[in-house]
Amino acid sequence: MESSKFISSHFLVISLVLACTIASRPSFLYAKELSKTDFALGTLCTIRLVEGGNSATLDQAFLRLRTIEDRMSVNKEGTEVSKINEMAGKASVEVSSDTFYVISKAMDYARLTGGAFDPSIGPLTKLWNIGAGGEKVPPKENILSAKALVDWRNVVLNASANKVFLKEEGMSLDLGAIAKGYAADEIEKILRLAKVKAAVIDLGGNIFVYGTKKDKTLWRVGIQNPESERGDYLGIVEGPQMTIVTSGIYERCFIENGKRYHHILDTKTGFPVDNGLVSVSIIGQSSIDADVLSTSLIALGIEKGLELLKRFPNTYAIFIDKDKMVYLSPGAEKVFTLLDKNYTLVR
């Protein structure tokens, strides 16, 4: 998962691949602000304390990030998720309350989406391995074999013992579309307990801003133009406190025989989602919800995505399709302004 920085004097700029670029000292940064950037959760993370807190607060926040990574990463040996996958079809694995909670939430979303979001997608993500370099379209028989192992209903949770069991050998969990959202929410809790009054949390695409800026203006977050270079935004989201997460199909991808293949996979076909959408941005108050919804809605498409969103009050979606049409969920017009005249807002 790629992440980089882009500096703007006015906006936080989100690139549409779960990667975020935040600008050269924006207007809301002040002399007393503290900031730390480091690699965690497979991406570049930045935490900025706009008002309150100290270096120990930042260290505590990054320690929490690494704890979550060491428990939930599918790409590191010895993590709890790796152990669950290793024991698939053999035995249940006891995990931390962190990991059990995130898997439980992922299962809730699998039910809500009818499996469009599925934490047991590991066999497919491992097979395609998009973003690792040297990608190519897997043989169809391999895709079918991997797809047959993807079924959230074969994930068994024992809440009384915090144990997780995968029924079929070869099954595997991948929490890549939910763990960063959980981490962002956890960092917000840490900062608030440390009496940080205002902060910017940037976990490689999961943005959380809260508190009052010293100039009393609202936070402004720029949404990246999916067809332009990073840092060229097509519109802005403005609000007092919010988390913004975007999923898109165009950056973590490869081209084979003139066709683009991206990392958001359709659990029903085993191939990348192909429904005309290029990105979905979610604006809300819970980053774990926004993280999952951004992936779920791009997989479900606009109609089913809007229906799902009705279950989440004060949560908005921005859909962008390949024809440069921008669709807003009800209420999103209150926080989003389209700036790029090459795009058309559909009301």
- pLDDT for the residue numbered 204: 86
Domain boundaries, the chain: 12-67+178-346, 76-166
Q: Which CATH architecture has domain 12-67+178-346?
A: Roll (3.10)
User: Which of 115, 146, 131 minimizes the C-alpha distance to 270?
Assistant: 146
Model confidence pLDDT, tens digit, residues 248-305: 987 788 888 888 889 999 999 999 999 999 999 999 999 999 999 999 999 999 999 9
- The residue-averaged pLDDT of 71-84 equals 96
Model confidence pLDDT, tens digit, residues 14-33: 433 333 333 323 334 444 68
Tell whether the model's pLDDT for residue 146 goes beyond 50: yes
User: What Å distances lie between residue 264 and 42, 122, 274, 280, 284, CA to CA?
Assistant: 17, 12, 9, 12, 22
Is domain 76-166 classified as CATH 1.10.10.10? no
Q: What is the mean pLDDT of the chain?
A: 90
- Note whether 265 and 274 are within 8 A (CB): no
- The residue-averaged pLDDT of 89-96 equals 99
Residues of the chain above pLDDT 90, percent: 78
- pLDDT for the residue numbered 250: 77
> pTM score, two decimals?
0.89
Model confidence pLDDT, tens digit, residues 169-206: 999 999 999 999 999 999 999 999 999 999 999 998 78
- pLDDT for the residue numbered 228: 78
Task: Note the maximum CA span of the chain.
Answer: 59
